[in-house]
Amino acid sequence: MLRSLATVTHRTIVSVLCAVMLITTAGFWFAGAVAQPVIVPAFKGEQCVADTNLMRSDHMKLLDHQRDDTVIDGVRGAPYSLIGCVDCHAQRSDSGAAIRVDAEGQFCQSCHAYAAVKIDCFSCHAAVPEQARQIGLLPDNPMPHAEINRVMSLLKSTDYHAKEQQFFTTN
Amino acid sequence: MSIDNTSYQPLGQTTSGYLWLLLVLLLMSIAGGYCAYNMEHQGHHITGMTNQVVWGLPHVFAVSLILTASGALNGATLASVFGLQIYKPYARLSVALAITLLVGGLLVLVLDLGRPDRLAIAMTTYNFRSIFSWNIFLYTGFIFLGVVYLSTMLDRKINRYTSRVGALVFLWRIVLTTGTGCIFGFLVGRSALDAAIMAPLFIALSVVMGTAILALVMMLVARWQRGILPAAVVNALATLLFWCLLTLLYFSVVHHLSNLYVAEHQADERFVLGGPFAVLFWFGHIVLGVVVPLLLLQRLRGLSQPAANKNTGLLLAASGAALLGGMVMVYVIVIGSQTVPQTLFPGKIVTASSFGDAGFAAYTPSLWEWGVGMGGVCFSLLLFAMVLKLLPLCSEAASAAVE
Amino acid sequence: MQKNNSSSPQTDKSLLARRRFLRNLGLLGATAVSSFTLLEVKAREQKANTTGAVTAEKRWGLLIDTSKCSSGCDACVRGCNEEHGIENEGNDATRAQWIRKIDLKDKLTGSESSVPVMCQHCDSAPCVDVCPTGASFKRADGIVLVNKHTCIGCRYCMMACPYKARSFIHETLTNQKPAAPRGKGTVESCTLCVHRVDRSEDLQPACAVACTDEAHSAILFGDLNDPQSKLATKMKEIGASQVRADLQLNTGVRYHGL
């Protein structure tokens, strides 16, 4: 029934396939040109809410999970908030003004540029801290060390929901 | 079941007219894509749409394309469900046209979203109370069933299923058009769009627009085959379109008369019949979309059979007018209804508001919106023109030699 | 059907057996359904207990006393805009307006009034029904919100809203507030200052605070479910109605003196 398609010669098909392969694998051939990300230490705080490796691989899972809890169920004050990320990681310029975390070379952007993953957070969310603590979106005191260690031990399992339950029951 | 001996081929010789059309359609599709990119990148403030008129020209095009797609199936349905052999040579064209038009319509709908990049969310997260959600299934189902339907026609081994699949597709598209009509039929907050008659009205509009575009495409394909439509086919199409138009007129009259009768809707109705949209309503929908084609078709039906050339001209004009008039009707329903102020406080006059609660809202479509809408139409036709070349859709019996 | 009496000697044994089977089947089904529902309710309760998730125990709402609202005052609008980082100027037809002031004149008596109109936080919200992705939703405590993470910007909710309470973001935004994420291509509306309410029930929404600061105190926030709440007692005392009560949407925002 598709006899007419057969008139397309094999040579055409092979050349199109080659071209597609070349284009899609271009990244491999030019990989050396991509700069390593600059990971700026956090502006404040000594310890993140979770282990660095876990934050690198799973920060979005943590954020996504808590985001649904917060937006839909009104759960506030849980540990993995985007406001919290911005609060610690936004650098200050020489004049003391906060720099957007998604600006060139900044904490979020430099890693995401390296990994070629578009950040969709900051078209809506504030990328600089602004009185977040004052309006009660963050705990009044930074998380104590013991607390962070406890959260980190909970994070070893992958069931975020159970972890959250535990976090709140023992809190 | 009778054995079908008609042979079908892909569109034969490539005429320069075909190539030119392809080029124009391609350029228009690209331009449409650029307009859509701009609308997403800059935001909807570059369109004429506002927080009051939230659906603009792209929706008019999308709804028109979707309605036309469902109606374009008429040819295939009449042949394989109702057994009208005269439409048999056009059944494949009819299904292919329906699928490609729906693809174009959906494309426009998606590109007009505030966040078209989140299409994946729309396809994976459903709220089953939403008519929009049902429609996502109705549209994708229509495309799937359409492809199956076309396959049963293309492949002799499964030919025997054509009429059964055809019946299913026929039911499906009635539900689909009902679903599309329901989007505009259950909005309690906008009095003009709170009318269950929208569903049958949309079905009537769909068969008019679908028959009209099918007639135009059939004439074009016959021309590419270096022939003309047989006189009997022209007359059959004329009769079909004639009755479809009368049905549309009937539902439209019932719709507006019932509105005039209900005190709550009278202000809106006076607006449609006598406000800023009156010219479009009377001259676009009623005169151009119904009266003119009815008169032309009546004239055609009165002519004797052999005057085929003249017949074709009349059918061409009538179909074109019905198609344009149909789009104007969608414009009046979709846009007109949104420009009417929503009554929040019955019995009170709004003396001041920062958000236009007092008077009619203005809407002027921007060039970008025209671009997206026309781009969708052109993309549909581009797809169709290419499918014509790739699949054996055209039958020798579809055209008669020019005398 | 004959009279159903199991002691009747004429009763067919097989009929009885079938009846018993059907009854048991029904009971089984009912038990299954109810225990699932119970489990779900229980899970929700537990979640609420442990995490502070909102429940249907409360229903937040506003009482607007139009006799205290004055024409020409837009303190509530400004308070709202400041709280959520909304621009005050620009094209009225395309800019976000979570609250708008409407001045009214009665057709018959000519009496004048002025009212703020915002999302009415309907119990049966049309915007929630029509949203294809479920982004437009009602929280357990009655606050109607847009989950902008799943909003695709189709604007069907704006078509459905009887109050024109929703705004579509037409332009790229910058400098959003941490408490009010807002962005181009999505729909938004009054959140009843959910970020304040969640923090403390004593924190009134920004519009109510602004109105009180202006010494009008026309907007009162509170729990509609609690008959002892200030809102409920006040409402009982002065009386209140809904905008477009004919639509039977059971709004969370009520007006006195319309």
B5's torsion region: left (phi>0), alpha (psi -120 to 50) or beta? alpha
- Cβ atoms within 10 A of the Cβ of B260, count? 13
* Residue C241 CA neighbour count, 13 Å, CB half: 11
CA–CA dist B387, C233 (Å, integer) = 70
Q: What is the DSSP letter of B360?
A: P
Under an 8 Å CB criterion, which residues of A touch C? Answer: 67, 69, 71-78, 83, 86, 123-126, 129-132, 135-137, 164-165, 168-169
Residue B189 confidence (pLDDT): 84
How is chain A classified by DSSP, letter by letter? --GGGGGS-HHHHHHHHHHHHHHHTHHHHTGGGSPPP--PPPSS-SS-SS-HHHHHHHHHHHHHHHHHHHHHH---S-S--HHHHHHHH--B-TTSPBPPTTSTTSHHHHHHHHHT----GGGTS-SS--STTTTTSS-SSPPPHHHHHHHHHHTTSS-HHHHHHHHHHH-
Mean pLDDT score of chain A: 74
3-state secondary structure of B275: coil
Q: Per-residue pLDDT for A55 more than 80?
A: yes
Q: Say how far apart CA B117 and CA B63 lie, in whole Å.
A: 21
User: Is C168 within 8 Å of C153 (Cβ atoms)?
Assistant: yes
Task: Give the residue-averaged pLDDT of A100-112.
Answer: 91
How does the average pLDDT of chain C come out, rounded? 88
**Alpha-carbon distance B239 to B189, whole Å?**
40
Distance from CA of A170 to the nearest CA of C (A): 9
Interchain contact, B113 vs C154, CB within 8 Å = yes
- Round to whole Å and give the CA distance between B220 and A13: 32
Residue type, B232: A
The structure tokens listed for B399 are 């055209």
pLDDT for C238-248, tens place per residue? 999 999 999 99
As given in the structure block, the two tokens for residue B333 are: 């329903």
Gap between the Cα atoms of B184 and B178, Å rounded:
10
Number of B–C residue contacts, CB under 8 Å: 174
Q: Among candidates A129, A132, A126, A119, which has minimal Cα distance to C176?
A: A126
| Cα separation values, B81 from A100, B91, B356, Å | 63, 11, 51
Is C60-256 in CATH node 3.30.70.20?
A: yes
Residue type, B271: F
Residue C170 has, within 13 A of its CA and on its CB side, a CA count of 23
Q: What is the pLDDT of residue A2?
A: 46
Residues of A in contact with C173 (CB under 8 A): 123-124
Q: How far is B386 from chain A (nearest CA, A)?
A: 12
Calculate how close chain B gets to A77, using CA atoms only, in Å: 27
Separation of alpha carbons B179 and B133, rounded Å: 10
pLDDT at residue B271, rounded to an integer? 80
What is the C-alpha to C-alpha distance for residues B329 and B284, in angstroms, rounded to an integer? 7
Q: Which 8-state DSSP code applies to residue B352?
A: E
Contacts of C186 in chain A (CB under 8 A): 124
Q: What is the distance in angstroms between the Cα of B104 and the nearest Cα belonging to chain C?
A: 17
Under an 8 Å CB criterion, which residues of A touch B?
1-2, 4-5
**pLDDT at residue number A143:** 47
Q: Rounded to whole angstroms, how far apart are CA atoms B23 and B19? A: 6
Range with lowest mean pLDDT among B15-24, C47-56, C148-157: C47-56
- A137 CB neighbours in chain C (<8 A) are 178-179, 195, 199
Amino acid at B99: I
Please name the residue of chain C whose CA is at the shortest distance from the CA of residue A136. Answer: C199
Q: Is the pLDDT of residue C47 over 70?
A: no
Q: Does C138 touch chain A (CB under 8 A)?
A: no
Q: What is the pLDDT of residues B346-359, one digit of tens each?
A: 999 999 999 989 88
DSSP letter string, B223-242:
HHTTSB--HHHHHHHHHHHH
Q: pLDDT at position B308, please?
A: 56
Give the pLDDT confidence score for residue B1 in this predicted structure: 41
Condensed to tens digits (0 to 9), the pLDDT of residues B188-222 reads 888 888 888 999 999 999 999 999 999 999 999 99
Q: Do A1 and B10 touch (CB under 8 A)?
A: no
Contacts of C211 (CB under 8 A, 6+ apart): C69, C75, C76, C79, C217, C218, C219
- Cα–Cα distance measured from residue A55 to residue A40, given in angstroms and rounded to the nearest whole number: 15
Tokens of B47: 């369109």
Could you list the pLDDT tens digit for every one of the 403 residues in chain B? Answer: 445 567 888 988 788 889 999 999 999 999 999 999 999 999 999 999 999 999 999 999 999 999 999 999 999 999 999 999 999 999 999 999 999 999 999 999 999 999 999 999 888 889 999 999 999 999 999 999 999 999 999 998 998 999 999 999 999 999 999 999 999 988 888 888 888 899 999 999 999 999 999 999 999 999 888 888 888 899 999 999 999 999 999 999 999 998 888 887 887 788 878 888 899 999 999 999 999 999 999 998 877 666 656 788 999 999 999 999 999 999 999 999 999 889 999 999 999 999 989 888 999 999 999 999 999 999 999 999 999 999 999 888 888 876 5
pLDDT of amino acid A52: 85
CB-based contact B159:B3 (threshold 8 Å) = no
- Which pLDDT score is estimated for A144? 44
The CATH class, in words, for B11-341+361-398 is mainly alpha
Cα–Cα distance between B123 and C132 in angstroms, integer? 10
DSSP string, B77-124: HHHHTS--GGGGGGHHHHHHHHHHHHHHHHHHHHHTSS-GGGHHHHHH
Q: Cα–Cα distance between C73 and C102 in angstroms, integer?
A: 11
The encoded tokens of residue B158 equal 């499964």
pLDDT higher than 60, residue C78: yes
Question: Cβ atoms within 10 A of the Cβ of A135, count?
Answer: 17
Cα separation, B149 vs B162, whole angstroms: 6
Identity at B342, one-letter amino acid code = Q
- Greater confidence, A84 or B13? A84
Name the residue among C184, C181, C149 with its Cα closest to residue C84: C181
The pLDDT, as a whole number, for residue C50 is 64
End-to-end alpha carbon distance in chain C: 57
pLDDT above 50: residue A1 = no
- How is residue C89 written in tokens? 């100027």
Residue A144 burial (CB < 10 Å; 0-12/13-18/19+)?
exposed
